[in-house]
Amino acid sequence: MADAAIVVELLPILDDNYAFLLRREGNSTVVIVDPGAAAPIAETLAERSLQVGTILITHYHADHVAGVEELAMGTHVEVIGHGADCHRLPKLTRTVEPGERFQLLGTPVEVLDTPGHCQGHISYYLPEAKLLFCGDVLFTMGCGRVGEGEPETLWNSLQLVAGLPDDTKVYSGHEYTLGNAKFAAHAFPDNAEIKARLAKIEEMRAAGQPTVPTTLGEEKRTNPFLLAGSAERFAELRTAKNNFRG
């Protein structure tokens, strides 16, 4: 299938952010997701003779958009973001709405409404390629802080994401996993799978390996916020994580 040829590459930026580069084999025009810094991305593109065709934005925070204007400067780059947040997203050329579906790299993309970290947060789901780019809503073994809205808003967004197939690869915006895993082991001390995953993540981070992407199935089994069971319990866990110093 054509979408099997989609390649996703992690682009580490800033202190602990990830942007993502999507491309088709043999094509020099690429998609960039959440470019929070321009220089390291531009350097990678130049080294490999690649050019940006499309930029996808999940939300307006600077560590996800600060590189947009420079990367799109002087070129015919399509910059896509949530229409409701167009007043605080840089250089948009196309607005999309939750529930909308469009084509990218020859495969469909669905726009998911995932507020809670901020009201205008959206995620991009590629169902045929089984890829999810979810910004700061869901992390490996964690989730974003409640920024705009109530905890229930973010809980509902997590439930929407959790309804996707278990084999979906989840690409989130930060390398927060070691701290997330320590909190998960603290919050669910009798969960053997969480303990085992913490040990594995400690090994990975000690070796300098990224913990992104994860799979949705693994998150459903070991992410404390997906194990919460209710909006009330989720709010308790999110507050506890805010204060956790493990």
Structure tokens at 233: 């319990």
Can you give the three-state secondary structure of the chain, one letter per residue?
CHHHHEEEEEEEECCCEEEEEEEECCCCEEEEECCCCCHHHHHHHHHCCCEEEEEECCCCCHHHHCCHHHHHCCCCCEEEEEHHHHHHCCCCCEEECCCCEEEECCEEEEEEECCCCCCCCEEEEECCCCEEECCCCEECCEECCCCCCCHHHHHHHHHHHHCCCCCCEEECCECCHHHHHHHHHHHCCCCHHHHHHHHHHHHHHHCCCCCCCEEHHHHHHHCCCCCCCCHHHHHHHHHHHHCCCC
Task: Give the rounded distance of the alpha carbon of 157 from its chain centre.
Answer: 13
* Closest C-alpha to 158, from 64, 230, 59: 230
pLDDT of residue 149: 85
pLDDT of residue 5: 80
Per-residue confidence band for 151, with pLDDT thresholds at 50, 70 and 90: very high
- Alpha-carbon distance of 73 to 143, in angstroms, equals 33
In the chain, the number of structural domains is: 1
Q: What is the CATH number of the domain that holds 159?
A: 3.60.15.10
Q: What is the mean pLDDT of residues 174-187?
A: 98
Per-residue confidence band for 2, with pLDDT thresholds at 50, 70 and 90: very low
Burial 158-173 (b: 16+ CB within 10 A, else e): bebbeebeeebbbbbb
Q: What is the mean pLDDT of residues 137-144?
A: 98
Count the residues in the chain. Answer: 246
> Would the pLDDT of 3 be above 50?
no
Q: Which structural domain, as residue segments, surrounds residue 201?
A: 2-242
pLDDT of residue 75: 79
* Beta-carbon contacts of residue 79 (< 8 Å; ≥ 6 apart): 54, 55, 57, 68, 72, 89, 90, 91, 92, 93, 94
Burial (CB count within 10 angstroms: exposed 0-12, middle 13-18, buried 19+), residue 62: exposed
Residues annotated as part of the active site: 59, 61, 63-64, 117, 136, 174
Render pLDDT for 188-228 as a digit per residue (tens, 0 to 9).
999 999 999 999 999 999 999 999 999 999 999 999 999 99
Render pLDDT for 11-37 as a digit per residue (tens, 0 to 9).
999 999 999 999 998 899 999 999 999
Render pLDDT for 52-86 as a digit per residue (tens, 0 to 9).
999 999 999 999 999 999 999 977 999 999 999 99
> Would the pLDDT of 1 be above 70?
no
